[in-house]
Every structure is written in C-alpha cells, then in structure tokens.
Structure 1
Amino acid sequence: MMIIEAIPLTIITASTPLVIAAMGELVTERSGVLNLGVEGMMIIGAVCAFIATQATGSPYMGLLAGIVTGAAFSLLFGFLTLTLVANQVATGLALTILGLGLSGMIGEGVVGVPGIKMQPIAVPLLADIPFVGPILFRQDLFFYLSIVLVVGVNWFLFKSRTGLKLRAIGDSHGSAHTLGLPVIRTRYLAVLFGGACAGLAGAQLSLVYTPQWVENMAAGRGWIALALVVFAAWRPWRVLAGGYLFGAVTIGQLHAQALGLGLPSQFLSALPYAATIVVLVIISHNRRTTLINTPASLGKPFVPDR
C-alpha cells in the first residue's frame, strides 16, 4: 500500500511546479505577451527561496522570497519589452540566460547545504480517508496553491469583466486601445503575475521537490511549462491535466531506471523532453484549433498613439 501511495505522491510533487509556472505564463500570453524567460525566473526564485529559508528558518518566508524575486525579474522583462519595445523573444531568452548565471553566482555559497523542507498540511478529517486522504489532503502549501491558481485563473479569464478585457487586449491590442482599455498597464500586471508564479514554482523545487540548492536545478522545467501552455490551448483546466501528464512521464522514467529495464539511463532521462516535442508536433498538425485559441496579438509589440 505504501508503494501504491508513493507513486501518485511523487507525481504530484513533480507536476506542481509545472502547473504553477504554466498558469502564470498562460495569463501572460492571454494578454498578448510572450515571455520565454520562465526558466530564468524559476531558477532565480529557487535560489532566493532557499537562501531566505536558511536565513529565517521558515520555508514560508522562502516561498514569499521566491514570489517576490520572480515578480521583480519579470518587471525587468516588462520594462524592456513593454516600455522600450524590445523584441519579446530575444528578451525572454536573455532573461533565462541571466537567471541561470545570476542564480549560480548567488547560490555558490549554499551548494551542498542541507535544506529545510516545507512540511505537509493535513486537512482535518479528510486527511484520514484511506488512500485518498494522504495523497490529496496531506500535501504541502504549493500543491494547494496550484489548485487554487487553476480555479482562480479559470474564473478570472472566463467569468470576470477584467479577465474579458485582458483577453480582448491579447486578441487585438489596437482595438482594445481604441476602446480605451489600458493595454500597457494590463500587460505589466499580467507579466508581473507570470513572474510571481514562476518564482513560486522555483521555490517549490528548492523547498519541497529537492530541499537543497543545486545549480540549474530547474532542469528545463520552464521550457516544459511554456510548451504546456500551447499543449493546453491556453485553457487552465487543460494545463492542470497536461502538467500531471508530464509529471507522470518524469516520474515514470525514474521508476523505469530503478527497475533496471536495460534501457540507457540517458534515453530514459530524455523522455519528458521527448514527450514535449512529440506533443507539440501533434498539436501543430491541427492548425485550425491552434489558430482559434492562440491570442492574435501574442508576441506583437504595441506602441500607443501619442
């Protein structure tokens, strides 16, 4: 029974940062901004969360530090792309490179230092339900936040007036500006939200998934989160399903290595990223669905009339 419980528990832990980071990027892209710097924001959030936890002794302060750092990093991206109208693709790639290098420098002194793991929060009564209780109702705060994010973002985008305005800006920033909607301000807020989510996802890596600091510990998860948004066709509930699918593939290859199936370990380690490529290739064949769901102004610069 313990082994049966351990598998879904590890899948949840591996999937949570993907869901959180992808939800932030989904909101950013819905506003018409393409931020490829998710990996950089995740890794800088991870190292700052770990250092803050070591300094204060509280993983919750580390969680807050990850959010703040990711948001601050995203503001740099926003200033360059929204105010200075720099190319979004190039700026996002530069942000990732900056995050990887800066995190290595900041975290050099804490490599190998034992971390403080965030403990699970048990929901009274529900946590005692056999099998389901330990899996769903005795989890860390990051898991609960990921579910709240999915529900909240889905409501915000499709049930609120502000969400409707954000989607309108993402679909046609020129028309939205003509109608008097604050395009730049809305996009700044969306970018800020995306950065905060990426920083939160990074904090999960260093406080729960692997409670220590290891250089480049994001290991491409930011890129998987970006692919996950496309895979989900910019729909929150599909992000949740896709995140757990990719998480299951990640954990599955680890179990396959442990079972000694005779396959090269390098091949098994590459499976999550190979799955990402395969999914994107399959999606690209359905051009009609992709065109319908893709925000029309995604990645296009906007300069308001003066």
Structure 2
Amino acid sequence: MITLRGLTKRFGTATAVDGLTLDIRPGQVTGFLGPNGAGKSTTMRMVLGLDRPTAGQALVNGRSYRQLRHPLYEVGALLDATGIHPTRSARAHLVAMARSNGIPARRVDEVLDLVGLDGRAAGKPGRALSLGMGQRLGIAGALLGDPPVLLLDEPVNGLDPDGVRWIRRFTRDLADEGRTVLVSSHLMSEMEQTADRVVVLGRGRLIADAPLAELLAGRPSGTVRVRGPEPAGLTALRDRLTAEGATVDLDGTGLSVAGATAARVGDLVYELGVRVHELTPVAASLEEAFLELTADSVEYAAGPTGGEPR
C-alpha cells in the first residue's frame, strides 16, 4: 500500500505537489492521471525517495523508502526506460540490481522470461535496445524482488500493439495477486481498459480519486451519433432535438447529440421521416471525463483549428 499524507513539494517558488493525501490500495490497478506538469512524476519520485518532500509523508507499507533495508523486495518502479548504461548489457544491468539488494542471480532469468526478453535481447548493450525493449527491461527490473508494490510511469511507451496488450494483462494479473499497482499514463483509452481506480491531479492538487466505474457514472450519459444523406432532414432533426433541450452539433454529414437518449432520437427520426445510415449511442469515456475534470488545470491549450493565426 502507498500512503500519502499532506505530501507537498516546492521547487523555489513553484509548487509541484500541493498537500496530496490519498491511499493507493492493494488488489487493484490505480490509474494516475493528469496534464503535463500536474505533479505525477514528482509524486512518484517522492514515494521512491528520489525527491525529498517539502512537507508531508510518502510511505510504502507504512515506512518511508529511506527506511527500507532491501527496497527492491518492497517496491519496484519503472520511471525511465532509458536508465541503463549504454555499454552494459540488459542482463548485466539486472544482475547489478539484484546484487545490490541480495536477490539471487536466478531471479534475473526469471524476470527476463516474464517480460519476454530472450537471450539475444538480454545480451544487447543499452544503446542497442529499442524503446520497447527498454520498457520491458525496466519492468523486469521493477519485478526483481517480487515486490508487493509497483509504480509504472508510462509503461506502454514504445510498445507495439502486442506489447500494449501484454502490459494490460500483466498489470491486471499483478493486481489480482493482491499487489498495489500504480500506473501513470496519458493514454486515456488504455487506462479505461486497465484501471480499477483513477486518481487525477491538476497543478499538483488532487482533483479526483474514485473507482473508474463511479467516475464515468458521474459524467453525462454520452452522446448519440446520427449520420444520413439528407442535410435538410438532419437540420430538421437538429431543430426538433434542440427545442427539446438537447445539445446538437451538425457537421453536414451527421449530428452529435447530447442530452437525449438513442431511443428518443430514433423516435424523432421515424416521426420526421428522416433517412439515416447510422444511429449510434456513444458511451461516456474516460477521456471526456478527464478533459472536463482538468479543464482549469492545463498549463497550456491548443487554439481552435483553422482560421487566421493570432
């Protein structure tokens, strides 16, 4: 379990993490989300003793990282997949990590097999590893001590689709074993398929901490997409839906309807005699929830597409 109490980190006049209090519990995958600069990486670094908190505590199973005698047996982490000496082989890198924590050498081969790095890949020097191989090696390092707590920062970066699916299943299996699994990612679609619980930061502060299902249940019920070949019919449908209080975007070939059920849209299509080729309910997504939650917390935002530059 990871316990954060009033965790704060300032760099000069800038506050990276601001009074963060939460528990990351075992037996579930917790998605750690936030815009760039939200404080996710700084929080992970404080949990791992790499940054000293300005105030508050970050504990792993009730103790600070600095109090752990053999930390790899307690917590494993992937923060930077490129953190390997360019001339040292992947296997030698893991052997050095194992020796530093009194881990038997046989465990190196076990974790290499777990993450799918064969003998040829394990013999490559760090500079010859692809980003995907580096990610797998970083995860192997995190698993060396068979720890009950795991922190993974953007673990799917550089992985091909098969690797992404493997990470998804692997983190799920680790949580099902009763481990604490904290995964930071910017890929909302991936988190929606992986996380049991979601923690969202914005400007260093806690915005949300809830089960994924509860977070999505609290959002609007989604939209209805309508596509058809008759612009006049779509316009009439839009006007009728708007009159009933729905929010409708018309792009020429279709409608996006919020605030009306697919059944009601279908009834109006029939009533108005509008010919349609598609009528699809689109469920609320984690991406939509995330964008709504963090709208006031982004460091910068892109302007509207098209038009004259400003």
Normalising to structure 2: TM-score of the pair? 0.21
Normalising to structure 1: TM-score of the pair? 0.22
More strand by share: 2
More helix by share: 1
Q: Which has the larger radius of gyration?
A: 2
